[in-house]
Amino acid sequence: MEIQEFAAELGKILGEYGDTVRSTVEEELDMFAGQVHERTAAGSPKRTGCYKKGWRLAEEKRFGMKYRIIHNKTRYRLAHLIERGAIRKNRGIMPATPHIGPAFDSLMPGFISQLKQKLGG
Q: For residues 113 and 115, what is the distance between their CA atoms, to the nearest angstrom?
A: 5
Query: 3-class SS at 18?
Result: helix
Query: What is the mean pLDDT for each group of 10 consecutive residues in the chain (121 residues)?
Result: 83 85 89 94 89 92 88 90 88 89 93 89 65
What pLDDT does residue 1 have?
62
The whole-number pLDDT of residue 121 equals 65
CA distance 47 to 82: 12
Query: Domain ranges in the chain?
Result: 3-119
> CA 80 to CA 100: how far, in whole Å?
9
Of 29, 78, 86, 30, the residue nearest 52 (C-alpha):
78
- Asked if residues 44 and 52 have their Cβ atoms less than 8 Å apart, the reply is yes
Please check whether residue 93 is in contact with residue 87, taking contact to mean a CB–CB distance below 8 angstroms. Answer: yes
pLDDT number for residue 5: 85
